[in-house]
Every structure is written in structure tokens, then in C-alpha cells.
Structure 1
Amino acid sequence: MSKILITCAVTGSIHTPSMSPYLPYKPQDIAAQAIDAATAGAAILHLHARDPDTGRPSADAAHFMEFLPTIGAGCDAVVNLSTGGSAVMTLDQRLAGAMRAEPEMCSLNMGSMNFALYPMAARQADWRFDWEEPFLTGTDDLVFKNTPRDIAHVLREMGEKRGARFEFECYDTGHLTMLRHFADRGLVKPPIFIQFVFGVLGGMAAEAENLIHMKRLADRYFGDDYLFSVLAAGRAQMPMATMAAGMGGHVRVGLEDSLFIARGKLARSNAEQVEKIRALVEGLGREVASPDEARAMLGLKGVDKVAF
């Protein structure tokens, strides 16, 4: 098997500050946790921005630039910026940080979908900020919009014009079909890096059968032209990632996807999750890829061509 890529999703836009004191939202904390995750073995850092005063997911390019230069100076990990942002943002808002920073990689959701977070609100009794509970409960009537026109726009703006390559986030089988469509149009070229996403209410459940099915479909659609990685939300994070590693795939962990390191025990940092998955995959005989090896595997433009 090839060397394994570990991605760490440092903060995301799903969990809120009240859920864990260890979730970073101030720029200095995002930067410090990202650098520590890279030191622990993450070759790729998947990053969102937060409002430093409230912890609310932010689309402001200035908020990205408060931590990106520090991360760039503190480690050599590949920076992968979200173009998904949050489902409450417009497409232009979601792209603002990536357009400004011109990273080596961006994430790209391959379709519109329900993105239901509202069950999380029932598990929280106390709130630090007044935006958190309404933000979560309002997702019972929320669609994350990413139409074919939106996807083509992101591919042109970030790919063709700015040289980024993509982590194609596929939450269901139809997202693989859409990715094949864009490959047929010539807008997506190998090597194609697919992130199978499990456990978000509105997408696939985190079940072994679903991973096996997605892998079979991707093999049929893309042959030898792709690499796959797995992220699973919540308690399925480590089991599904370990299964992916055993199948020859790659893995993603981080506080965006799960706040826990074990049953009932909050992870104290992103690095703690990276250390755990590293031990698990090395126990399976996989060797962890360095950032430069990740760049070679994914055909990235190089850290000297980013704008931060």
C-alpha cells in the first residue's frame, strides 16, 4: 500500500464553543492547534475560520489571514481551505477566504443536501454565546446549496485561475456521479482526491457497508485515477478511519468531525486525535506520508505559490 495521508480538520463550522473548551476559535488557538497537529503527523490541515470574539463560523477573509501566516511559518503542512464554509453562507461568502489566500488545496462539496445539526442542540444545557442554540435548531429547515453551476464556478475560480487542487467531499453516491460528470467535462483531472463523508444527518450513515459500496463505485467510475479518504462524524470517527486505512485509503480526523478521543472523553486537542489515528494506522503497517510526499501524491502547486 502507498503511504497514508492524514488530514486534520481543526475547527470546522459544525460544533459550537459551548460543546468543548478545547475547540479552537481564536486565531492564535487555531494556529497553535494546527501546527501541533502537523507535528503529530497530519500532512494536510483542513481549515475554516471563526469570529474570534464569538466563535461563530466566519466567511471573512481577514479572519483567515489572522491565522494562516502563522501556520505557514510554523509548519510545512499542506493547507486545505474550506469552500463549504457553513450552509448559512452564500457561495461568494464561502469562497472569500480561499480567493484571498490561494491555498494549495480546497475542499469542494459535490452537491446540495440537507445538513441537519439540530439534534446536537438537545444534548447541550448551557450556552456561552447567544447565537449557538438558534444556529443549531434552525438547521431543521436548512439546505446546503451547491448546484452544478456552483461547483463549476469553484473549479474555475480556485482550480483553473488559482491553481488549487481539491478534496472532493462526497456525502452520498450521487456525489460520486456528479464528480464523474465534471471529470467527463474536463474540469476535474487526476489524481482525484475523494473524501467519503459519513455520519452527517442528510448524508450517508457511518456504516461499513456504505464505505464498501462507495469504494466499489469509485473504482468503477475512476479506476486508477483517484485516491480516497474517509471522515466520519462523532463516535464513528476512529473505527471508520481505521477501516479506510485497512482498505488502502487515507484518513481524516480533527475537532471539526468529533470532539471526543474516547467514549465520553473530550479530546484535549486536534493533535491528540492525530496521534491516536497515527498509532492505529501504523499498527496496520501503513507508513504516514510527509507534507512533501502529500504534495507529490496529489499533484499540488507548492507552498511557494500560496498568498499567505
Structure 2
Amino acid sequence: MKNSQNKVIISCAVTGSVHTPTMSAHLPLTPEQIAEQAIEAAAAGAAILHLHARDPVDGRPTADPAIFDAFVPHIRDATDAVINITTGGSTRMTLEERLAYPLRAKPEMCSLNMGSMNFSIHPAARRITQWQYDWEKPYVEGMEDLIFRNTFRDIRHILKVLGDECGTRFEFECYDLGHLYNLAHFVDEGLIQGPLFIQGVFGILGGMGPDPENLVTLRTTADRLFGRDGYRFSVLGAGRHQMPLVTMGAILGGNVRVGLEDSLYVAKGQLATSCAEQVRKIRRILNELSLDVATPDEARTMLGLKGRDAVAF
């Protein structure tokens, strides 16, 4: 299982829970917009679609299963992409809220943050003087005093109720080097079996910085913990660091993640008009590097997924 010899999986994180409507008019908020952008991203080459939900009235993050149900089945019917449902939700959601839809949907894949951490973009509020909705400013500023919680017990619970009982596999989100060691702990406990899909996250305030050296450190540490053939890795670069870091990750033998959850831009000072625009850009870069892009079914084989017919939506 040598990553450098395999095709590159493109993941697309469509909307997330961090950015707010004021930050970009192109951020998908309604079920129709989320579905449209996800389907376009899949057509552009994304094999995995990482999905959050938004309140269609004002765009705030929500864990409401009814809202997920308004777009997830539509995406399933329109594309063969792997549907990856967040278990992270937002820093304001309880574990029960975050798991409400994944436990109902039993998807092929879910994201799983591998530790509790400070997670914030509160400095971004200083650059905005006029907000579209009243909730946005206190939401962004309030991140300064919030922690994203995923304790060892929380992670163990998610692995049991989603992994063991639903057959869901995970995108293990590692925002810091210690998260790799947390992952190794659960592997050593026998609670996680390979193939591992590690998502290195760089550039979030509270986690690893976007320095290229950190990417190399993450890669070499994962090699020591799991063996080069014991995992697959992917790279997520936040904000303006998106394209340089994911390109470096691909050169190092990894996979890539783009999307408006991770960055609102497609180039310096240029807002992306859609997630598909970012997918098309990274696909062009991969093609120039003579790297082949994985189809959804190839991604399923590479990651050992249970298949689209085994989900509950």
C-alpha cells in the first residue's frame, strides 16, 4: 500500500461550520446550494464529499437531521461520490447533537477529530465592519473562549457506535502532532483497524501552523507510528495556505482536500465562486505533476469502505 504509487483522492469539504455568510456570497447555506455545489465538485473530480449542514434561514451551523436529509439523499442520487458526514459539527454542539445524523445515516465515512483543542478564527472578526446576520459577529468572536471537545472517552464512543456498529470508516483529522499519538493509542488498543486515512490539518489557530516543515514532521511521525505502508494521508491547508500545502502533500505521496469549508479563495485576493472551482484547480495541478486522480470507487477500494449500498439514506 505505497501512497506514492496510488492515485490521488480529492476530498471536497463543501461548507463547514467556521465561515459565515458575510465572508463570502458563494458559501453554500441552503440545502439546495449545498447539494448543487457538492454535485458540481464531484463532477469536477472530488471522490469524497465532506458535509456539514446550515440553517437555511440565516446560514448558521446546525446538526438538525431534517436539514441533512434535505440534501444528502439528493447528492447520493446525483453522484457516486463517497459521502462523508462530519462528527465535528461545531464547537457549540454537544456530542449527542454531532452524532445525531451520522447514527441515523450510517454513512460510508465520517470525519473524526482526534483530540480536544482550541479552535478559532476570532481575529477574522476585526476585519469585518458590517455583518449580514446578527448571529455572525458573536459567533466568530466567541470562538476565542471555546474549546472543541473530543476526549478519549468521546472518541472511543464514536468508534464504537459509528465504527463497530454501523461499519463507518473515518477520516482521522489531526490538527496537531499529538493527535497522531492519540490515533496510535486507539490502534494499540485494538479499537481501530487499517487502512487508516489520516487528514493532516494545517493553519487553524489552535493547531499546527501552515509551515511546510510541519507537514514533513507529520508525515515522518506517522511513518514511525504506523509504518509507511500502514496508512494513507491527506492534507488540508486552511485559508491562503490551501493550494501550496495540498500540492506539497500530493508530492509527498498523499491525497488532497479542498472546499469552501477550508478556504474561501481560489487565488490571492480572489474568492472562489464554488467548491468545484477549487477542485478543478487542484486537479489541474495534479495533472501537471503527472499524478492520476482516483474515482469514487477507487477511493472506496483504497480506504476499505463498505460501499454506497450499505448506507441508510
TM-score range relative to shorter protein: over 0.9
**2:305 matched to 1:303?**
no
Q: Which runs of 5+ in 1 are unaligned?
A: none
Offset from partner CA, 1:175-232 (integer Å, 9 cap, x none): 0000000001111101000000000000000110000000000001011110000001
TM-score norm. by structure 2 comes to 0.98
- 1:65-144 to structure 2, matched below 5 A, reads 65-144=69-148
Partner of 2:243: 238
Partner of 1:58: 62
1:72 and 1:241 map into 2 onto residues whose CA distance is: 26
What is the deviation of 1:277? 0.3
Give, as a single letter, the amino acid of the residue that structure 1 aligns with 2:243: M
Give, as a single letter, the amino acid of the residue that structure 1 aligns with 2:108: E
Give, as a single letter, the amino acid of the residue that structure 1 aligns with 2:200: F
Partner of 1:226: 231
Partner of 2:15: 11
**2:257 matched to 1:257?**
no
Q: Which runs of 5+ in 2 are unaligned?
A: none
2:291 to 286, 292, 301: 286
Q: CA RMSD in A?
A: 0.6
2:130 and 2:14 map into 1 onto residues whose CA distance is: 23
What is the deviation of 1:272? 0.1
Percent identical among aligned pairs is 61
SS in 1 for 2:180: helix
SS in 2 for 1:161: helix
Deviation above 3 Å: which 4+ runs of structure 1?
A: none
2:252 to 226, 231, 247: 247
Partner of 1:145: 149
What is the deviation of 1:138? 0.6
What is the deviation of 1:45? 0.2
SS in 1 for 2:32: helix
What is the deviation of 1:258? 0.3
1:174 and 1:17 map into 2 onto residues whose CA distance is: 33
**2:219 matched to 1:191?**
no
SS in 2 for 1:280: helix
TM-score norm. by structure 1 comes to 0.99
2:163 and 2:133 map into 1 onto residues whose CA distance is: 37
1:125 and 1:268 map into 2 onto residues whose CA distance is: 22
1:276 to 276, 281, 289: 281
Give, as a single letter, the amino acid of the residue that structure 2 aligns with 1:285: S
1:106 and 1:24 map into 2 onto residues whose CA distance is: 20
1:204 and 1:169 map into 2 onto residues whose CA distance is: 12
SS in 1 for 2:92: coil
1:171 and 1:10 map into 2 onto residues whose CA distance is: 19
Partner of 1:39: 43
